[in-house]
Structures are given as C-alpha cells and as structure tokens.
A and B are shown apart, each in its own frame.
Chain A
C-alpha cells in the first residue's frame, strides 16, 4: 500500500509543481493595477481577516463595476497567512513574483516591520495593513506605508480627550496585554494623560490570553479609577475583568480600542457589555440615520451585519484606490513615492460616510475617531461623542 502511496504522492507533487510554474508564468491583463494582500483567513486573527478580505473585495468590485480607475481595473490577489510573519513574507514574495504589484495589504505589525526594507528597496508599492502600531506612524522610517485610521497612541489620545472633557482631572487606569500590541500606547498615553491633566492611577499588565484576573481586579479596585482603558486584547479577558469589577461595586467606566470594538464582539461580552465604551474611526454597519451613501451601498451588497474589520478593509482599499486615481490623474508613474505623495494630498476627503467626517492624511495615519457606547437594549454600539480630530 505504502509503495503505491509514495508513487502516487510523487506524481501528485510533480503535477503540483509543474502546474504552479505554469500558473506563475501566466501574465496579468496588461494594464490591470494589482492590489496584493497577505490576509489571515485562518489562525488567531481570522475573525478579522475574513472581514478585511471581504471588505477589500467589495470596494474593488464597486470600483471595477464602475469601469475601474481611468479605465484600468484593479485586480485583487490575496494569500492566506494564518497570521504568521514567515507565511506573510512568503505570500508577498509569491504575489510580487507573479504580478506587477502597486498596492499591498499586510496583516500584522511584525510583517509591516519585516517587509519595510524590501518596500524601500523596490520603491514600487504603497502598503497599508491591519496594524495601527504607533511605530509605523513615522513617514521617515516607513515612507511607503500608511494606516487607515488613528494609530494606537492616537486612539488613546481620542479617548483621553473625551475623558478630559467629560470629567476634568479624572483618575484613569490602563489594562493592557504583555505584547508589542498591548504595550504600544502605554508610555506615550501616560505622558499625554499628564498633559491633559488626567491622573493615571494604575497600569496593569496581563498575559495576552489570561483567564484568571482576580488579583488584577483587586489591584484595580484599590486604585478605584473613574475610567479604565483596555488595550491589546480582542475579547478575553475584558468580560471577566468587567464582571468581577462590577461585582465589587467598582464604578469605573470601561473603554476599549479599535480591535475590541466590533459590535458582535462586544455583544459576546454578555451583561458586562452594557455601557462599554471605546474609540472607533469608522461608522458601524447599521448606522442608518447618518448621511452615509457608502454604508447604504454596503448594506445593499451585504444584507447581514459586517464587522469593523470589514470596514477597515473596505476603507483601506478606498484610500489606496484614491491614491492611484490621483497619481494617474497627475500623469505620474505608479510607484511607491508617487502613490504615497498622492495619498498625502488627500485633504477633507469624503469617504462616503464611513469615516464620519471628511479626512486628511498628512502623514501615515488618519487621526480621527469617535467614542461609542454599548446600549444593552438596542444591542448596539451607539455614538457617545462627536467626531474627534487630533
């Protein structure tokens, strides 16, 4: 049996290899503009990756159905990475060796940092991604990258500006995971709090997947903050934290940042979700009262709820396409420098209501956001503030 297996396996492998080579040789339609992507369809970040993937595809469908950009279609070529940096780089190499890529979507901070020297060497690609790491918000170090929202430090800035306005001199606590993601805004956030006259009374760091948080909750209770900001988590251990804190009669207001703000995710917190707040750069899928033609279009295309990751993918593709459009309209070549320069000319740009206000991209980020609060009756995140620009 095993001999047979081996022979069959070998033939299969040979066929696979030859097919792959043939596929690699296939050329794209001459003037298609290619958006490559390393997306995490599987693995720990899959919950977001699936949404991002759909969002990018939907926006490109809208563009291509309308005839593309100056008659040129945008072709989307994606690979699954399982949220592993080596697989992401492999995907980048694979896609860039098969297509002439002008735009790229990366899936993690690690990938954005790893691929940066290669982007600089090539100088042909504009990249954005799922990471809002503050480190990437540096046009000098990362000249061909951007993020379609505020970086994590700016998210803290938006939250704390809101707090400073609501309750000047408030006591705040940071609860964050012991990862690069978690630690990202803590130091600059502490500094900013001081500037805004807020009092950081406690900083609690936990393992990223911790389950038992009782000692940390006791610490939080001793500190007795008015506001507690979680960062560096998606869901766990936020619900556990809030539940235990509420049992101890802690009257703190709990807040989160972008990746813990998806409506379906907050719903899963159960009772703990009531009153949970946080910062979002985009409008939610279901916001009907707003003047947002793009949201109407999304709801037409997809009648069921779409996550904030979907919005992120959608709006990232939109900003990339806008950069392409401006570059082509200026009669310039599509390369990293021109695309980034065109992106930076975006000023008071209307995203069809996905960002609630017209946006500008002066550097590598879009420093805009709004505070939302979970309404347990409506089972929805509802606006709790105006749009805040930094």
Chain B
C-alpha cells in the first residue's frame, strides 16, 4: 500500500544497512575477544588454565592474581609487583605531558600568529620531525644525556619524552590556532596585549578542545612507551610497561598466565580511563580543526 508522503521519511532496513551492521558486529567481536580472554583468564586459577579451555568462563572465580600482579609478582630479582612501576610511570608521565603540551601550545601560537622570518621553514622541519623514527635518535640522545649527566635519571626521561612529543604537538596546536579568526589576535594587539599576555588571556582560554586532544595523545603515548623508558629511565625509574615485560618474560619457574593477564590489564587501565572520561572532548577537539591542515 502506498501512502501519501507526509511528515518524516519512513526508515527502511536495506541490504546495505544489514551488511553494515554485520561488519560492525564482526569488528566489535574481533576487538573484544582478546579483552574477554584476558579478563576471564585473570579470574581463573592455574589448574583451570592448564585445562586449556581458553574461551570458557571460570568455574570458580579466583581473584588472587590481581593483588599478586599489583604487589607481589617478580620483576627480575625483586618481587614487588607492578606497584613501583605504576608510580614511576606517573612520575614520568605527569611532568612530561605538562611540559610538552605547554611548550607546544606556545610554539604553535608563535607559529600561527607571529609570523617571523623562516616560520614556514621551521614549520616544515616540525612536520619532518614528527615522522622521524625514534630509533634513529636513541643513540645520539643517549650520548648527549650522558654528557649532560642526566642519563638514567627522571629528568633525563622527561626531557626525552618532551623532545619527541613536541613536533607533532606543535603541528596540532599551530593548525588549531591558524583556524582561529586572525581578527581576534589583531583586536588583542590593539587592546594592548603583548606576546605573553595575548597567549595567556586570549589564546589559552580558547584552547580547551585542542589541549584535551594533546593531553590524551601524550598521556597514552608516554604511558604506553616501552623503548624510551627501557633505554633512558634507568633502573630506579622503570615505567610500568618495562616491569610488565619483566613479569611476563619469565626465564625460570612457571608462567602464571592469570597474573600476566591481570598485570597487562592493570597497565592499560590509565589510557583506557583517559579515553573514557575524555572521548567526547577528543572528538570535539578533532572536529574543531585539530587534524585538518
């Protein structure tokens, strides 16, 4: 029966739609399956794990692997679990994020509004810097830090993270600021602002969306980093990822899969948490011109 078109258009379930939903469903399964396995394995005891029914739910819930991973599992010769690694990671991440985001915002602002001679060349170098693989720089940086006497120290690893974060962050901030109306900046100059005052009172209050994007990128990047933490942090400041590796890579004794799984989940909790509380802002920040050049 045909009805007269009026009001909202009726919704039809087309073949394309069904295909799309199937695809989304498969994707979701693909990404959720490992997480499911990790969680249920961490809740089994070793006997059940040895029974090798990897997808089965635990017959009996056992939580002992979680506190063990947190404070008793052995990382090399010490058996204090991931706890020291967690606090090391916090000590590395917080200052690195603050310093790199702050400096990059200032850089991006200078590049977008105070077009000095050679600004374009500098911008090009930044772009280039954002794509250089870390490995190339590790050895020279190590020698430099050694000469400065900060190799294997907390300031040493913070400096490294700041250096590696700045090209891409500067790029992001510059592009965001370039999308702001230039008249605002002109008005602020006439109103008597200087370089720093305009940045503090006019630009920073408008930077919330892009700052959140930058913070998310940096927190997850630095928290998940393994290579730089291993090379530059030194024994006393090993981040959580390095300790996780030490727990999982046992050379002797029995591999305790449930503890490994708990430890892995614990390590990934911080980036997950960051995504969940700020996902909305992340999308908004990207929409605000963060990525488009």
- Whether both chains belong to one complex is answered with no
B residues near A (Cβ < 8 Å) are none
A residues near B (Cβ < 8 Å) are none
